[in-house]
Structure 1
């Protein structure tokens, strides 16, 4: 069953204008029209989820377009994906330290909290 642009917008959390923009960029494609409204295959929702994930990982729309049309022989793209994976590892480590620091601070009795040696150690990544 095809989804009209309003349904895709509602389910994906994106504005219809964003969907039309992604279509112009070649990231998604409408299958036709229902009256004046564009229609999409349900798989478009999965593609939009992938686009959102890639954007949050720091990929540009151009890079996402390349990713969506990649072939196994695209060595340059594979290299870029490996670089992004390393960058994400760094971000995950940073966010994990922040999470651990906040968990500690939530029950710490040091005054002020940021003076706590354990808090400082976790934030620096040495704890």
Structure 2
């Protein structure tokens, strides 16, 4: 079996060597040996790194992602956790669509000033109420009408 050194893994995955060393330190990936000072990884590490990137894009923390790999490095995915994250993404998509629609309305509104637009004023009120609720819960989330 041909192993990949850290430079090849970095080039093949787009992940910086410093991040690869960190991922190894926290147990996301494992090197199998060293060739001189350079870590050597099995070819499967490239698939693991794709799964890590996908998990990060979905909003999982590195800690959550590390729990998704079994002791042999193979994915061991909790279907319930995946459903929960998909539900979170659905909520974010709805919020982003509402924000997009609000921005388009503000950009296209024929009122002389945004503050003269009753729809804009209503959206600002709604956003303010939602922002206050998030602040009281300790969340620093984006305010989306």
Same fold (TM > 0.5): yes
Greater RCO (Cα-Cα under 8 Å, separation 6 or more): 1
Q: Which residue of 2 aligns with 1:111?
A: none
| Paired residues for 1:1-127 under 5 Å | 1-69=2-70, 77-93=78-94
Q: CA separation of 1:93/1:28 partners in 2, compared to 1, >3 Å: closer, same or farther?
A: same
Return the TM-score normalized by structure 1.
0.66
Q: Distance in 2 between matches of 1:39 and 1:8?
A: 9
Please list the CA deviations of residues 70-105 of structure 1 after superposition, one character each: whole Å capped at 9, or x if unmatched: 758xxxx4432211011122334556778899xxxx
* Distance apart, 1:44 and its partner CA: 0.4
Q: Distance in 1 between matches of 2:47 and 2:99?
A: 31
* SS class of match (1:33): strand
Q: Distance in 1 between matches of 2:101 and 2:12?
A: 33
Q: Distance in 2 between matches of 1:18 and 1:3?
A: 16
Please list the CA deviations of residues 1-50 of structure 1 after superposition, one character each: whole Å capped at 9, or x if unmatched: 21100111111111111001000111100011111100111110110010
Which 5+ residue runs of structure 2 have no aligned equivalent?
Answer: 103-116, 118-144
Report the structure number with the largest CA radius of gyration.
2
Which 5+ residue runs of structure 1 have no aligned equivalent?
Answer: 102-114, 116-123
Structure 1 or 2: larger helix share? 1
* C-alpha RMSD over aligned residues: 3.2
Runs of 4+ in structure 1 deviating by more than 4 angstroms, as ranges, are 92-101
